[in-house]
Structure 1
Amino acid sequence: MAPLALVGFALLLGTLPCSGAATPTPSLPPPPANDSDASSTGGCQGSNRCQPGVLLPVWEPDDPSLGDKAARAVVYFVAMVYMFLGVSIIADRFMASIEVITSKEKEITITKANGETSVGTVRIWNETVSNLTLMALGSSAPEILLSVIEVCGHNFQAGELGPGTIVGSAAFNMFVVIAVCIYVIPAGESRKIKHLRVFFVTASWSIFAYVWLYLILAVFSPGVVQDDGASRIFFEPSLYHCLENCGSVLLSVTCQGGEGNSTFYVDYRTEDGSAKAGSDYEYSEGTLVFKPGETLKELRIGIIDDDIFEEDEHFFVRLLNLRVGDAQGMFEPDGGGRPKGRLVSPLLATVTILDDDHAGIFSFQDRLLHLEFGDDETMKTLQVKIVDDEEYEKKDNFFIELGQPQWLKRGISALLLNQGDGDRKLTAEEEEAQRIAEMGKPVLGENCRLEVIIEESYDFKNTVDKLIKKTNLALVIGTHSWREQFLEAITVSAGDEEEEEDGSREERLPSCFDYVMHFLTVFWKVLFACVPPTEYCHGWACFGVCILVIGLLTALIGDLASHFGCTVGLKDSVNAVVFVALGTSIPDTFASKVAALQDQCADASIGNVTGSNAVNVFLGLGVAWSVAAVYWAVQGRPFEVRTGTLAFSVTLF
């Protein structure tokens, strides 16, 4: 009932007179004539003339009859739904590229306490961070790009389609997506949140994002998005490594932004970590002075070298107590207005001291194994330990060589073989006997060098393949060639396979619904098969092309939504909350549904909802409004945003 109430309440808003909504904030000048708010009111202020979109022009003639309006509305609506279908397909490719990027691994060398080293493989991306950021970013890409394109395509003026879509998408995620996740869980099963602290953080920030959005536009600086103009001082970079015998380490402090005509004084001091002042490094404190126009300062910390073996240690350097003054050292009093400078993260630099006093690791270059054959013994078994590192695909090799055999036989043959060791010349009979004895010595055969090839465990590989097939992670592995993508595009898929009682899956023929959906989406499938496979450039090529395609589709969706609202008489804010938010939330719905079905806990499905809501505000509105604010700041004017329906939208969420 909640989604129906949401749609009904939003439609009721669209029928209200819009004179009040069109009234500008008293403290702001009236909006320009080409503002999107006036272009889609339908009948507000005595004008129902539609304005051209970013890509789509106005459908001529601009004053159609009632029947033509109905036909145009149907065309716009069907086209918008078809665009939503395309967005959902390309969003799957986009998510696949993100999964490939975040699954990249690197080898690291681990030094144990006894001095031994081992090479291990770790993932570059943290699993929790990648799920909360890139998964939410991938499913929220349509809303983010729609907001950016709307602002940039309308002369950097704020519209209502982007913010309305973001608020509507948040409500849709909270009500519908979570309801879908609950509905698809099989009977008798349940999903629980495993990491409650992560959920509390994401849920709190997703709610705070919308409250903060209202506060900055309606309370702190009504109707204006602006930069505080303060210079930002921080360490860049914040992580440093040095050898124990380096003598000193040099740290860099950066001052960015601001007007550049103030003098800043910032203190610094060292703090102990595992490294201690006086024994591992020299304690240091002082003041850095940034004069007008200076953007970089360096400070040097002394490192103490000793001959005692220690593990790698670290200490910290902190920035604190920022003051604004002049070149003569006179500090300006704090007037309570906008600050001219501020300390921002990272305020703390970490310096790691790498020990150089290790005595070294001694080992033989080659390992030798002696095999001794006794009497009547014709075979020996050689055992070589193979380390199982559980790699999916493996193709390694090494060699085993047999050295020259040594004969330990005693008796007449041994005496004959040793006769030539002295200076006495052998007789002809002795030379013949020695020659015959030499023929009986052990010698190497033809195959004295053995190559051992280590391949993956087929049982392990089959298990992984079954798990991938069962959990529907084909998109994570991605595609390897354009040929594979085009074959998948023109092939009718039978959807999910039915699982038998023994755990195997039975392939079935495509149903009538599968054929209908294939013919509806075959255009998008073939078109998006031109996107580079995820194997190319470790997924970055697919990532970049998908961003461009989603941006193009969202620009078309924005134009279609504006023209549809203008044709039927809906304001952009209502159109965005009801229709556009529904379409752009399709990737969120499918991502959370798959996570709810396949995962053993509810962290990914619920985290995608809360993470997407926060990403929508902080990136969807933050990026678009930041670009517009910078543009108008260069022009010497503030970036104005109407707050007429913002309070209602936040309350609706």
Structure 2
Amino acid sequence: MSTINSRDLYNYECSDRGLLLPLISEYTWPKPVRAGLYFVALLYCFLGIAIIADIFMCAIEKITSKTRKVYLSSATDNQPEVIEVRVWNDTVANLTLMALGSSAPEILLSIIEIVGNKFEAGELGPGTIVGSAAFNLMCICAICIVAVPSPEARPIKAFKVFVVTAVWSLIAYLWLLVILVGITPNVVDLWEAIVTFLFFPILVIMAYVTDIERWGLKFKGADKKKQIELGNFQPGESSQKQLRDEYFFRDGKVDKDSLVQFVREVKKYPGLSEEDAALLAATKLVESQPHSRLWYRIGATRQLAGSRKTKPQVSEKLQEVSAWEKLRRAKKAALASTLKTTVPPPKTTTTTTTSKKTDKETKMKGGKRSYPADHGDHLANMPAVENIKLPEIASPMSSTGTDWTKIIASAAIKRQVEEAMDKVYDAMNEHPDAPTLGKPLVPDSQKNAVFDFEAATVAVMENVGKVKIPIQRTGRLDKVAKIRVETIDGSAEAGQDYVKIQEVLEFEPNETEKMIEVEILNDEQWEPDEEFFLKLNLVSGEEDGVELGRINVLEITILNDDNPGTLMFKKRGMLVQESVGTLQIPVIRKDGADGDVSVSWKTHDKSAVEGKDYIGKEGTITFKSTEVEKLIEIEIKNDFVPEKNEHFEVELLNPVGGARVGKINRVTVTITNDDDFNSIMNRMLLMTNANMDKFQVHTESWGDQFKEALSVNGGDTENATFSDCIMHVLTFGWKLIFAFVPPPSILGGWLAFSVSLIFIGIITAIVGDLAAIFGCLVGLKDAVTAITFVALGTSLPDTFASKTAAVQEKYADNAVGNVTGSNSVNVFLGLGLPWLIAAIYHATKGQKFKVSAGNMGFSVTVFTVCAVLTLGLLVLRRYLGIFGKGELGGPKVTKYASAFFLLFLWLAYILLSSLQIYGRINTF
């Protein structure tokens, strides 16, 4: 029986590789078990580093968000306006505190390793820095290139700053070669360490100078957007308007005017409560505000750990409302761009518009939800279409494979200038103080043949057999013109409810109308009214001289019977603001649409008085055969006098033509006073600001920190996912420990900065031991472990953050723009600072600080070559059309080719460096 020597209990394989570990004797543990436990512990500590780095970066966010007051002249009064602008320049913040926040583990690992090795150079810290730089530059860029949906491209906006940091990143690694291989081989003198460290402030100064465009004593005036960000307003300008236009919110709060405009948009979606609108407003603010890479890094870490999110989480319904609102904003932006380039300003403002667009609901298939159209906004290029039923935006593909999103987007782009002007007129005429604008002539119809339908909606009986639909031609008539006609499924499907049509009609010269025959299939079974669409398209290759008119999509409703129908209001009550202008009350025709019918309407005074509060009395509306909806228009008078809510009634009576009046024959209209409206908006403003406070990245008190640490998803359990719950359980211990870090609200964030940095240092020391012992147990040298496991583990949050930024941001700056700067900082701080400490220590003893140029020199050389190729590819992607003229994204083939090339470079770096470390390749 063998005996165990007491010396063996503390002197066994790999027991001497750590500074702090192992804590107990592992002599009797099987080697595979030890390796597995150390690997799991390494992964767990990577989670801990990510979480404490999150807190560390929250402190940095608090520090860099410090503002100063700027006083601005006002054009409206003698009182100066006051805004707050950031003290920290974005570029300086990115290269100092934010770079330290994302690279703190690598930098501290290098410092701790040198101090722990009695001021002798190690391999784990420098290897991690170079390996992390390689992963960040090549792998993260590859992931971000692929992440951007094709064919979109994301260029780097601050390209000059990127060039400066890219050049400095190459200088940094070339400088390492110079001092390790050239000037003093295998030795770092004190002056070399000092110069290496001083490169860091030089880099920051050069990048800052480039950013403000003062290089070479040249000054380029900032544009208005830049002036708004920096507070350089021109005297006399309306700074309030500029701030509102740029979505700039004082103290991070939304201003009331912006909230009113947003609520007017989203409240047109039915069934939306004040709380929902406030949450959507907060969500919109978070999306609209500029975000730094630090914000994305914090968000990625919290997503990974199941913590409180930086972005609001909304229900499926609110996501659909948000998608609908974004679609409308995109259409308005496209229209504004069209107007800016093609439409001259009107010469007169005295003509009264002859028609009003109407607020209608564009219904979703199945009748579950409704998507209202804005006043003057049109979906799918159908200005007069009142009841087009579209599939859900969240699921744009119809059962037949038709992509409605593409149809809508294509039609919106091709909308006529005249329609765009209609929107402008209606939007301006909605405002009580705006002048009434006339409509200029649009000459396109004088040079093109214009095709459209005579009406936007028709209804036919199921047993009609075949129905002829007229297609009219206006504009230019002196030549042959062709137009394609096709059917699109709605709730009615081709082959079951009607016969599919897809044909080309040819109009001879001076021919103004043709009929298209649609066959309706009668299955002799009762079913609700169904609809499908008839759409006009330009014929491929023959688009010249031909264009689509205003009504190029026709809704055909198949009715179940042939009754004249029932006439009634849509609902029993309506609530309108006193300043609404013209009230439009919809009257619908149900259960049939055969023949011409009419119905009279009459107003009845209640607390609101005709002539004083509204202009109404009585009138008649007529439904032609197949028409299913009409509007009663009543002018609401705004007397601008504070008063209580008032109401009146509108009644339907005396139907003619065989129709009858339905159950809802009266509607009560309540006119709300603007004071009540202001009260509602003030309440919503408070709710929105409260929601915004929830999404600050930092916490205000220890109580908040412990509450978030103890709860999944930061306490928002309603929106917590299964993965959030799993990760919360795994990281609960770390969260509880780190909740003791002082909140960033104390001392401007500096106390949290210092304490969290200490925590990062402690965990990094443990990670260094775990990595070294794990590598020893599985037969990996420290340098290989550093450039693989440790580099990947510390870079994982950055990977998720960059991918998210690549998808959500308009530019590539937050995704890859600061990778080169971060790599430079890693060298100048991560190597320069510990080398300076060690060089000073050895200088005081009259010794030389030795650093082996073998592994480090070769790894740096390979990395530098790969970095030059990577940066060259990014520059080519920016300027060549084949790549989409953007560093990220572009056509699918070239973006995947670029990504594979970068991944190949990274694998080549790992392979060559590993072969050299194991002696398969000769060193310098």
> Which of the five TM-score ranges fits, normalised by the shorter chain?
0.5 to 0.7
Provide the secondary structure at the position in 2 that maps to 1:216: helix
1:556-595 to 2 correspondence within 5 Å? 556-595=766-805
Q: Give the secondary-structure state (helix, strand or coil) at the position aligned to 1:140.
A: helix
Matches within 5 A, 1:103-252: 103-108=65-70, 121-186=84-149, 189-228=152-191
Q: Give the C-alpha shift of residue 521 in structure 1.
A: 1.2
The one-letter amino acid paired with 2:754 is: G
Shift of 1:116: 11
Question: Which digits, 9 at most, give the CA deviation of each residue in 1:453-480, with x for residues without a partner?
Answer: x999754896872235447467754111
Q: What amino acid sits opposite 1:142 in the alignment?
A: P
Tell me the amino acid that sits aligned with residue 738 of structure 2.
Answer: F
Q: Is the 8 A contact 2:712 2:720 kept in 1?
A: yes
* 1:299-314 alignment runs, 5 A limit: none
Q: CA RMSD in A?
A: 3.7
* Kept in 2: contact 1:135–1:608 (CA 8 A): no
Deviation at 1:550, TM superposition (A): 0.7
Does residue 465 of structure 1 match 2:282? yes
- Name the amino acid aligned to 1:481: S
Partner residue, 1:51? 16
Aligned to 1:637, the other structure's residue is in SS state coil
Choose the corresponding residue for 2:740, options 527, 530, 535: 530
* TM superposition shift of 1:578: 1.2
Identify the range of structure 1 (162-171 vs 585-594) with the bigger mean alpha-carbon deviation: 585-594
Correspondence 1:71 to 2:33:
yes
> When the two structures are aligned, how many residues end up with a matched partner?
385
The offset of 1:494, in angstroms, is 9.5
8 Å CA contact 1:93, 1:475 repeated in 2: no
The amino acid across from 1:104 in the alignment is K
CA contact (8 A) 1:181 1:596 kept: yes
CA contact (8 A) 1:494 1:511 kept: no
Residue aligning to 2:873: none
Which amino acid in 2 is paired with 1:221?
A: T
Query: Which of 94, 97, 117 is 2:59 aligned to?
Result: 97
Match of 1:485 in 2: 705
Greater displacement, 194-203 / 464-473? 464-473
Residues 1-58 of structure 1, C-alpha deviations (whole Å, 9 max, x = no match): xxxxxxxxxxxxxxxxxxxxxxxxxxxxxxxxxxxxxxxxx9xxxx965425222247
Asked if 1:646 is matched to 2:856, the reply is yes
**Alignment partners' CA distance in 2, 1:104 and 1:645:** 43
Q: Distance in 2 between matches of 1:608 and 1:387?
A: 33
Closer, same or farther: CA 591–615 of 1 in aligned 2, 3 Å: farther
Cα deviation digits, residues 404-429 of structure 1 (max 9, x gap): xxxxxxxxxxxxxxxxxxxxxxxxxx
Structure 1 residues 640 and 488: alpha-carbon distance in aligned structure 2, compared to 1, 3 A threshold: same
Q: Where in structure 2 are the equivalents of 1:304-383 lying within 5 Å? A: none
Q: By how many angstroms is 1:648 displaced?
A: 2.4
**Percent of aligned pairs sharing the same letter:** 49
Q: CA deviation at 1:628?
A: 0.7
Look up the SS of the partner of 2:853 in the other structure: coil
- Is the 2:84–2:250 contact (alpha carbons within 8 Å) kept by the matching residues of 1? no
1:517 matched to 2:727: yes
Residues 490 and 470 (structure 1 numbering): CA distance in 2 closer, same or farther, change over 3 Å? farther
- Matches of 2:170 and 2:784, distance apart in 1: 21
Aligned to 1:279: none
Contact residue 14 and residue 777 of structure 2 kept, 8 A: no
SS of match in other structure, 1:515: helix
The one-letter code sitting in structure 2 at the alignment partner of 1:566 is C
TM-score, normalisation: structure 1: 0.53
* Alpha-carbon distance between aligned partners in 1 of 2:23 and 2:785, rounded to the nearest angstrom: 18
Task: Measure the CA separation in 2 of the matches of 1:579 and 1:160.
Answer: 14
CA contact (8 A) 1:96 1:476 kept: no
Q: Which residue in the other structure is 2:510 paired with?
A: none
**What amino acid does structure 2 have at the position aligned with 1:555?**
A
Partner SS, residue 644 of structure 1: helix
Contact 1:494 1:514 in 2 (8 A): no
Is the contact made by 1:494 and 1:510 (CA closer than 8 Å) also made in structure 2?
no
Cα distance, 1:622 vs structure 2: 0.7
Secondary structure in structure 2 of the residue aligned to 1:228: helix
CA contact (8 A) 1:151 1:158 kept: yes
Residue by residue over 1:538-585, the C-alpha shift from the partner in whole angstroms, topping out at 9 and shown as x without a partner, is: 211221111111111100000111111222222111111111111111
SS of 2:84 mapped into structure 1? strand
- 1:622 and 2:809 matched: no
* Cα displacement string for residues 329-382 of structure 1 (whole angstroms, at most 9, x for unaligned residues): xxxxxxxxxxxxxxxxxxxxxxxxxxxxxxxxxxxxxxxxxxxxxxxxxxxxxx
Shift of 1:493: 2.3
* Contact 1:109 1:120 (C-alpha < 8 Å) held by counterparts: yes
Moved more, 208-217 or 185-194: 185-194
Shift in Å, 1:175: 2.3
Question: Of 41, 44, 52, which aligns to 1:82?
Answer: 44
- Distance in 1, matches of 2:93 and 2:194, equals 31
CA distance change for structure 1 residues 509 and 223 in 2, over 3 Å: closer, same or farther?
same
Q: How does 1:343-492 map to 2 (within 5 A)?
A: 392=249, 459=260, 465-470=282-287, 472=310, 477-492=697-712
Aligned counterparts of 2:192 and 2:719: Cα–Cα separation in 1: 63
Q: Distance in 2 between matches of 1:542 and 1:109?
A: 32
Quote how far apart the aligned CAs of 1:131 are: 2.5
- Shift of the 464–139 alpha-carbon distance from structure 1 to 2, 3 Å rule, reads farther
The question of whether the paired residues in 1 share the 8 Å contact of 2:189 and 2:848 is answered with yes
3-state DSSP class of the match of 1:157? coil
**Where does structure 1 lack aligned partners over 5 or more consecutive residues?**
1-41, 233-272, 275-384, 396-453, 498-506
Contact 2:169 2:821 in 1 (8 A): yes
Answer yes or no: is the 8 Å Cα contact 1:494–1:509 preserved in 2.
Answer: no
- Partners of 1:78 and 1:529 lie apart in 2 by 24
TM-aligned CA distance change 1:637 to 1:85, over 3 Å: same
CA distance in 1, matches of 2:819, 2:163: 13
Q: In 2, Cα distance between the equivalents of 1:526 and 1:494?
A: 12
Counterpart-to-counterpart distance in 1, 2:97 and 2:830: 14
**Is contact 1:140-1:587 (8 Å) kept?**
no
CA offset at residue 127 of structure 1? 1.7
SS at match of 1:146: helix
Alignment-derived partner of residue 449 in structure 1: none
Query: Does the 8 A contact of 1:494 with 1:508 survive in 2?
Result: no
Say whether the 8 Å CA contact 1:51–1:58 is kept in structure 2: no
Which residue identity lines up with residue 705 of structure 2 in the other structure? Answer: Q
Give the C-alpha shift of residue 512 in structure 1.
2.6
How do residues 593-612 of structure 1 correspond to structure 2 at under 5 angstroms?
Answer: 593-612=803-822
Q: Which one scores higher on RCO, CA 8 angstroms, separation ≥ 6?
A: 1
Task: Give the distance between the partners of 2:712 and 2:193, measured in 1 at CA.
Answer: 58
The 8 Å contact of residues 96 and 475 in structure 1, kept in 2 or not, is answered as no
1:615-643 Cα offsets, whole Å, 9 max, x none, are 11111011111111111111221211111
